[in-house]
Homo-oligomer: A and B are copies of this chain.
């Protein structure tokens, strides 16, 4: 019955990678806590780099600085 929410920046994760995240997170709950995978829900949110900040700056801005 667990619910897992994974938030990442929207930077090209493929359907295959997202399927692996879902499979891996579900497996983790089964292995560590013996949860039932059939009712384990995983939701992935992909967030625009303009909308994600760390250290007080947007990821968009941090990426530009790295490119300089």
Query: A34-45 interface mask toward B, CB cutoff 8 Å, 1 = contact, 0 = none?
Result: 010111111111
Which residues between 1 and 50 of chain A lie within 8 Å of chain B, taking CB atoms?
1-9, 13, 15, 17-29, 31-33, 35, 37-47, 50
Copies of this protein in the assembly total 6
Q: Which of B6, B32, B51, B60 contacts A2 (CB 8 A)?
A: B6
A59 → B minimal CB distance (Å): 7
A20 → B minimal CB distance (Å): 5
Nearest B residue (CB) for A13:
B33
Instruction: Evaluate contact between B8 and A35: CB separation under 8 angstroms.
Output: yes
Q: Which of B1, B18, B29, B39 contacts A51 (CB 8 A)?
A: B18
